[in-house]
Structure 1
């Protein structure tokens, strides 16, 4: 069994190639565009979603069949055409070039897969069966969707705000870690759930940091 390593990847301005013009390729292209990738898509035809992305200037669409030579210079390659043989040729060529490769028709042909995802603002929860059953992972995410409500988006924003303030005002790494652990022990999430939470001001955040760092 392949042992996958979970990772969160910043793809802003990263050169990414998508081979294929169907529904799967369109979904991948949309996700990449939202993450700020520099996208080139190769396919003779394309779904409306891809045409919309091209019209918006968020990807370049080359209207032709892809070949192995097209993978040169790309750090991430999606082999997402409806032709399994083409996908495997593209995936093999991209792997030889040292690229990260996702193969839609057969996961083993690539070297990374996408998990099912639940987003609540800055909070991202993922689930994967390592390629064994993507539908099962999606079902688990649907269950988590019922558990993690919109309050987690507010909570994650609060933690981001406080982490930034802690890093700005505290030099010692150990103290930073202790403060963030202490913050996680507060009842802020319960306050958000009960609709009694009032966002902290810069002054209140600074006062909390000074008070807690001295303990």
Structure 2
């Protein structure tokens, strides 16, 4: 599968099903700013709350071959406990140009959702292509333990430095050498130990060393 980070801000997405699996999909989509429609006559308590708060659109019906999709959905999640229904819904949604995830059958998926760890703007994902979600979760837990919040804070500092460096003189080769040095094992060890000020100083010294000047 082709790895991609997709911007869902404001994009319409459909979740077919109203159980706990559907609830998890809905929450993740909302976190990414998607406009979420849920199609199911039955909802979990949390989904009912989201509906009452106006966070999701609700179609109070089971999916069927004549179901009316008022939007062309960017993503469709088929998350009912009926495998046959999921497969039929996936076929219809795909025919309308949507990318489809079928929670009960990876072979019917256009995409799978990786296990992920976030630290601010830093996103780290693990996927087994649906072969073993349990293994992906184990690896995710290891990443979660190894990379703490300090890495998100370090990325915030790097964004500032990168913007400053882009405004300075220097060749492409200078910049490449600068970033290789700026993100050396030594600097990353400082970050891991929480010494962000010292790490930032090392990066700024590297800019001077490679002739990237104002």
TM-score in same-fold range (> 0.5): yes
What is the alpha-carbon root mean square deviation over aligned residues?
A: 2.8
SS in 2 for 1:198: helix
Contact 2:154 2:191 in 1 (8 A): yes
Answer yes or no: is 1:6 the counterpart of 2:3: yes
TM-score when scaled to structure 1? 0.83
Unaligned runs of 5+ in 1: none
Runs of 4+ in 1 over 6 A off after TM superposition: none
Contact 2:178 2:207 in 1 (8 A): no
Answer yes or no: is 1:34 the counterpart of 2:31: yes
- Residue aligning to 1:79: 78
How many residues align? The count is: 210
Matches within 5 A, 1:142-157: 142-157=141-156
Could you tell me how far apart the structure 2 residues matched to 1:171 and 1:55 are? 55
Contact 1:126 1:141 in 2 (8 A): yes
Could you tell me how far apart the structure 2 residues matched to 1:170 and 1:186 are? 26
- Residue aligning to 1:19: 16
- Residue aligning to 2:51: 54
SS in 2 for 1:67: coil
- Residue aligning to 2:196: 197
TM-score when scaled to structure 2? 0.84
Cα-to-partner distance string for 1:27-77 (whole Å, 9 max, x where unaligned): 111011010011111110111221232233221112111234444511211
Could you tell me how far apart the structure 1 residues matched to 2:173 and 2:78 are? 44
Contact 1:166 1:209 in 2 (8 A): no
Could you tell me how far apart the structure 2 residues matched to 1:175 and 1:55 are? 56
Could you tell me how far apart the structure 1 residues matched to 2:15 and 2:77 are? 5
Cα-to-partner distance string for 1:121-175 (whole Å, 9 max, x where unaligned): 2222211221111111111111222222232222222222222333355696555
Could you tell me how far apart the structure 1 residues matched to 2:90 and 2:170 are? 46
- Residue aligning to 1:165: 164
178-187 vs 31-40, greater mean Cα deviation: 178-187
